Every structure is written in C-alpha cells, then in structure tokens.
Structure 1
Amino acid sequence: MRRAPLLTLLLTLGISTAEARVRLGELLPQHPWTAAAQEVVVVYSHDCGDLGDLWSAVLAAGLPVRAVNAEDYPSPAPAGVQAWTGEAATTFARQLRVGAYPTVLLVQDGRIMNAWEGTFSGRLE
C-alpha cells in the first residue's frame, strides 16, 4: 500500500464546501483509546453511504486511525480498524458539534488541528 503524504490528504479533504462546526485547537472529548502524537479520527454513521474511498485515503496517510460510529446503528470500519460504537460514541460526536457525517479530524497531541465534514469525492494520486 502506497502512503499518501499527510498534506495531500488534508488538501484533498479540504476541497469540501461543507463547513465544520468542530472547533480547531480544542481538545478531543473523552474517548476510549490511547492518544497518539498525531492521529486521524473519522466520525461517521450508518447513513453515510459508501465510504470506501474515504477510508482508503485516510488509511494511506500512515497515521493511527480512530473510527467513531455514532448514532446507534452499527456500520463497519475497514479491516484492522476497531470502530467505537454505542451511546458513548454518539455523545462524543455531539460534544464535538459534528455538523455532518462523515467528519475527519486531524488530531495532534489531543487537539483538533484540522476538520473536514461532508461527502468525500476526491482522489489521492
């Protein structure tokens, strides 16, 4: 698997017209995983449609990926990624003020550095 540069991932995700309500610089709400120095958090729900291209782009960035399956309807994450589900996952999404699913967050030292919301239609090349 070819790793995409992180900047390419951010630029590709950044072309969305959706406006994130997630606040940059804020700490992530309480979560069940051990934080990494830099990580990607994908918050999604069952009604996002096919997220195959998004998952491929996120996984290719080479950072730890945290999947948060909100809204109480289980939806799988890619092989090797354990999705956090249930009421606590939905509470996490709401505390972030997620405006649309999926939402992708770049997190550094527990703080949100970049956020993207909406439908992924970009390609990493």
Structure 2
Amino acid sequence: MSRRRAPLLTLLLAVGVMPAQARVRLGEPLPAHPWVSAGREVVVVYSHDCGDLGALWTAILASGLPVRAVNAEDIPAPAPTGVPAWRGADATAFARTLRVGTYPAVLLVQGGRILNAWEGTFAGDLGLAGLDDPGQP
C-alpha cells in the first residue's frame, strides 16, 4: 500500500505554524459605524502613536471624497479641522472587527464595502483614476 499525504491535514498544519496576521479584507462591508455612508468615501483608522500624519491627511483631503476619521485605542489624537473623529471603545471595536493590523489604515469604501486598503503604507494615491475611467489600465 502506498503512503499518501493528507493534503488538508498538511494545509492545516502549515497554517497553524504561520503567525496570525490581521488583514483588512477587500469586498467586506464596514462594521457598524455612526455615520451615514456616502457612495464613495475614505475611512482613516489611526491611533495616538502614528506620529505626524500631516502628509497623509493632506493627501486624503485632496481626494475630494468624504473623510471619516476613526481614532482607535482609547487615547485621543486629533484629526484635521472639519473632520470629526470617532473615538472611544466603539471606535476601537470597529478597528478590531475590520482586523486592522497596522495604524494608520486608509480604506477606500464604495457602497459600504471596502474597495481598497492600505495599512501603514499609504503613499497618497487612492487609485481613483482607474475607477472613474474604465478605459484606464
């Protein structure tokens, strides 16, 4: 009798030894939140220890999209003038339900679902040109 490997068991063992990583999942709906969703919007999930977010906020605000600020982890940190920050235990629960692995997390949301996400590495381009013009690659 030939010895066969159990592919499912091998996969489960391999997954079990990999470190667990939080990852925001594209296509998932946003968890419960206190704002009325816009057609397309940007959600910034950040904490007090993100450092200077001036360039990030400038790029986000330049998009012209509605911006939602979620200040997670229970220590207040400012958002730009005119952008109310959601704070407290519910904001932290929102970030954890999303499985945010690194702050700041920038989420491009359309119709209440996550269209794109950047965790800790947002360079200022939301990729809107390709979304608005189907002829673009």
| Residue aligning to 1:58 | 60
Residues in 1 aligned to 2:65 and 2:124: alpha-carbon distance in whole angstroms: 18
- TM-score relative to the length of structure 2: 0.73
Q: 1:110 to 1:53 in 2, by over 3 A?
A: same
**Bigger radius of gyration:** 2
Q: 8 Å contact 2:60–2:124 — kept in the other structure?
A: no
| Residue aligning to 2:28 | 26
SS in structure 2 opposite 1:58? helix
Residues in 2 aligned to 1:80 and 1:23: alpha-carbon distance in whole angstroms: 29
Q: 8 Å contact 2:27–2:114 — kept in the other structure?
A: yes
| Residue aligning to 2:132 | none
Matched residues, number: 105
SS in structure 1 opposite 2:92? helix
Aligned pairs for 1:110-121 (under 5 A) are 110-120=112-122
The percentage of counterpart residues that share the same residue type is 74
Q: 8 Å contact 1:20–1:117 — kept in the other structure?
A: no
| Residue aligning to 2:11 | none
Match of 1:46 among 34, 48, 53: 48
Residues in 1 aligned to 2:74 and 2:31: alpha-carbon distance in whole angstroms: 18
Unmatched runs of 5 consecutive residues or more in structure 1: 1-18
Residues in 2 aligned to 1:51 and 1:111: alpha-carbon distance in whole angstroms: 25
Unmatched runs of 5 consecutive residues or more in structure 2: 1-20, 126-137
